[in-house]
A = this chain, B = another copy of it.
Amino acid sequence: MIDILHRVGIASAPENVYAALTTQRGLSGWWTGEVKGEGGVGDAVHFQFGERGFFDMKVLQAEPGERLLWEAIDGPTEWIGTQLSWDLRREGDYTIVLFKHMGWKEPVEFMHHCSTKWAVFLLSLKELVETGKGRPFPDDVKIDDWN
């Protein structure tokens, strides 16, 4: 099991978090300003990060307010075939988000980078849903020489 795991709590209802993960408006508010596609089952969504690169995700599962499962179908070699799950549940005033980026072949240095960067983007998602404004690329927090 070579997975990236994260947990954030967002002070809002699960439906609002789910909307930020399944609409072009939501996705472009926390991950990258350049998104093509939305998040219904079977959809492919394209996330472009300027000249740095892109990720193409196929939506495998989408259970409103509860769970999303994506598969990376194009982008960096290390990502292709990996799966990304988002599990949401209400806990008091929070929606708890359990995030997993699963199935890395090797714990390469790029995986270390992506792990830290996922935390940054999950906190951007939290900010977007709680305040209306996230920090999507290119305004994301830079963590290292790979950005």
Contact = CB atoms under 8 A, between A and B. Distances in A.
A141 B98 CA distance: 18
Interface in A2-36: 2-9
A112 B96 CA distance: 11
Contacts of A111: 5
Interface string A105-117: 0010101110110
A99 interface: yes
Copies in the complex: 2
Interface in A34-82: none
A81 to B, nearest CB: 18
A96 B144 CA distance: 7
A7 B96 contact: no
Given A99-B112, A115-B119, A94 B7 contact: no
Interface of A: 1-9, 91-94, 96, 98-100, 107, 109, 111-113, 115-116, 118-120, 122-123, 126, 141, 143-146
